Structure 1
Amino acid sequence: MIWSEICIQTTNEAIDPISNILHEHGTNGIAIEDPADLSKERETFFGEVYDLDPADYPADGVYIKAYLSENTYLDKTVDAIKRAINQLQQYGIDLGRNQVTISDINEEDWATAWKKYYKPVKISDKITIIPTWESYQPTSGDEVIIELDPGMAFGTGTHATTVQSIQAIEQYIRKQDVVLDVGCGSGVLSIAAGLLGAGDVHAFDLDDVAVKSTKINAELNQINNKITASQNHLLHDVALRADMVVANILADIIVRLAGDAWNVLKSDGIFIASGIIKDKQQLVQDTLQDTGFRILEVNKMEDWISIVAKKTPNESGA
């Protein structure tokens, strides 16, 4: 079978929103080719990436690649993707070159060649993410393994925003916590929370593909008994009371989410917000503090900011 590869040359800032657009339009799998990976120092026992070819990377910005099956609606789908990407500019997203190219690729070559670049990655003190086709033996008794198939949705779970979120979950989660994962994507944050001791995890995403992927990955990790995934717009009409809310989404959406996160959190509850670019950091911090949250941590990884905030205990109705 022949597939069409859509390649967008853009900025790091635009990776997450463009990835979401691609998934919403039915693409299969997403690959990010960032020139920074060529010079990034790695501890080899993580086994992240190897044999990188500089010719595969752009001179500036990043490539985001995804795949569409060839059909009579291909041109219309590509045009719709282009329009949706261009509309991101109204939210202040820098698209960089914003060049979109289409090429054909044979399914047999695509299905096997890209897998050699993804190996087990230890992303926190306890958690290691492994692709489903890799064999891996834990290096310690308390190591937590998350299995993911990157072809399902939203990459391998090793993007800086995801790593920051998981590291914060690991630090702040308590046994039997109720956790809400807003914009769940592949479900990796929900799975991490469940494996780290949460008693009940609710995963929400507006995209039905993400909801299905979360359910599949939860079952793959034998934790589907703890995770309930459902289609929902952020936290609208969610009446649950939570110990932790995690949102790895755009800064502007976090700002809109802050009030609802406050309302669903119990007193002393934790709000983990990730996916924030530097230019939006102060806006998010100010919004959280104006809502009543106390900022516990502000962390930076690569070009991304994450914020951990706590609901102050003196609010009424906690």
Structure 2
Amino acid sequence: MKWIECSVHTTPQAIEPVSSILNDSGASGVVIEDTADLTKKWEGAEDEIFALSPSNYPAEGAVLKAYFPLHDNLEETIEEIKLKINGLQEYGIDAGSSKIELSEVDEEDWANEWKKYYKPVKVTETITIVPTWENYTPDANGHIIELDPGMAFGTGTHATTVLCLQALEKEVKKNNTVVDVGTGSGVLSIAAAKLGASSVTALDVDDMAVNIAQENAQVNKVDSIVSARQNNLLKTIDEQYDVVVANILAEIIIRMVEDARKVIKPGGTFITSGIIAAKKDEVKNKLESSGFEIKETLELEDWVAFIAKTS
């Protein structure tokens, strides 16, 4: 079978939204060549980035490679991708040149080549993201989250996800109940379960994301704790939770703050990420005006996360 490799040269800031655009357009896998991965060091985590070769990465920025089966409507799909990437400017996201290049590859080549980009990465004091094909033994207090990056929806090592993981590590207590809004790959839900939560609800509007999140929970042996289902943010959610975590765009966080306030127990925690630095004050003001107290602000690269508390 023949595949088309669609390469998008973009900025680190745009990695997550461009990945989502490619996935939503029907990509069967996304490789992320982020130059920053070669030198990333996260506070609180050991310097554990294994065997990445600079020759596999661009000189600057990031290249996302998405794989689409060769079909008659591919040209139309690529045009839609271009329009959606250009539309990111409306959300204050600089996607750079977003130059797109296409090339034809055989199935065997792409099925194996992208594995060289994914190695175990320790992202917090206790959490290491490990590709399913790698062998890794954590220390006594460590947690492994196994993911298959071939199914994209986030591999757990982007700055916005790392901030959420670090916040969850600080906030999740034994037997807490957690809801993960916009779960994607389910990595945050899995982390919450491994950190001691007794019940985790993983929500996503995308059916495929729901299925992948549940599959990843099963791979990580926390499917008895994590339950994934389709839902539009927190609409129609009646239960109350100790922790709500949302790694999504700032504009969407602002729209869902009031709903979050309703579903968080008194004294509970709202963790928000996916916020570019330019939107920091806007999100903070909305949280505070809705009755949240900012307990801590976490920052990494150009991204911000808040740990907010209810009274």
* TM bucket normalised to smaller: over 0.9
Distance 1:44-1:107 versus aligned 2 partners, 3 A rule: farther
Percent of matched pairs sharing the same residue: 48
Distance 1:41-1:129 versus aligned 2 partners, 3 A rule: closer
Post-superposition shift, 1:276?
1.0
1:129 maps to which residue? 129
Secondary structure at the aligned position of 1:151 is classed as helix
Distance 1:264-1:41 versus aligned 2 partners, 3 A rule: closer
Distance 1:103-1:246 versus aligned 2 partners, 3 A rule: same
Q: Which amino acid aligns with 2:31?
A: A
Alignment of 1:69-108 (within 5 A): 69-108=69-108
Post-superposition shift, 1:179?
0.5
Stretch deviating more after TM superposition (268-277 or 43-52): 43-52
Q: Is the 8 A contact 2:132 2:148 kept in 1?
A: yes
2:55 maps to which residue? 53
Stretch deviating more after TM superposition (146-155 or 167-176): 146-155
Q: How many residues are matched?
A: 309
Give unmatched runs, 5+ long, in structure 2. none
Distance 1:289-1:39 versus aligned 2 partners, 3 A rule: same
Once residues 290 and 275 of structure 1 are traced to their aligned partners in structure 2, the CA distance between those partners, rounded to angstroms, is: 20
Matched, 1:36 2:36: yes
1:2 maps to which residue? 2
1:159 maps to which residue? 158
Secondary structure at the aligned position of 2:4 is classed as strand
Q: Is the 8 A contact 1:4 1:103 kept in 2?
A: yes
Post-superposition shift, 1:49?
4.4
Distance 1:95-1:105 versus aligned 2 partners, 3 A rule: same
Secondary structure at the aligned position of 2:29 is classed as strand
Secondary structure at the aligned position of 1:270 is classed as strand
Task: Give the TM-score normalised by structure 1.
Answer: 0.92
Alignment of 1:1-318 (within 5 A): 1-40=1-40, 46-53=48-55, 56-59=57-60, 61-140=61-140, 142-312=141-311
Once residues 272 and 306 of structure 2 are traced to their aligned partners in structure 1, the CA distance between those partners, rounded to angstroms, is: 5
Listed one character per residue, the Cα deviations across residues 53-85 of structure 1 (whole Å, up to 9, x for unaligned) are 17x4054x3222211111122112212222222
Give unmatched runs, 5+ long, in structure 1. 313-318
Secondary structure at the aligned position of 1:134 is classed as coil
Tell me how large the CA RMSD over aligned residues is: 1.8
Listed one character per residue, the Cα deviations across residues 23-69 of structure 1 (whole Å, up to 9, x for unaligned) are 11110222222333445569986233422217x4054x322221111
Once residues 198 and 279 of structure 2 are traced to their aligned partners in structure 1, the CA distance between those partners, rounded to angstroms, is: 33
Post-superposition shift, 1:187?
0.1
Q: Which amino acid aligns with 2:153?
A: F
Once residues 29 and 52 of structure 1 are traced to their aligned partners in structure 2, the CA distance between those partners, rounded to angstroms, is: 22
Distance 1:41-1:297 versus aligned 2 partners, 3 A rule: closer
Stretch deviating more after TM superposition (110-119 or 158-167): 110-119
Post-superposition shift, 1:305?
1.0
Once residues 194 and 174 of structure 1 are traced to their aligned partners in structure 2, the CA distance between those partners, rounded to angstroms, is: 10
Listed one character per residue, the Cα deviations across residues 113-151 of structure 1 (whole Å, up to 9, x for unaligned) are 2212322111111111111001112222x2111111111
Q: Is the 8 A contact 1:49 1:118 kept in 2?
A: no
Once residues 201 and 151 of structure 1 are traced to their aligned partners in structure 2, the CA distance between those partners, rounded to angstroms, is: 24
Distance 1:220-1:304 versus aligned 2 partners, 3 A rule: same
Secondary structure at the aligned position of 1:86 is classed as helix
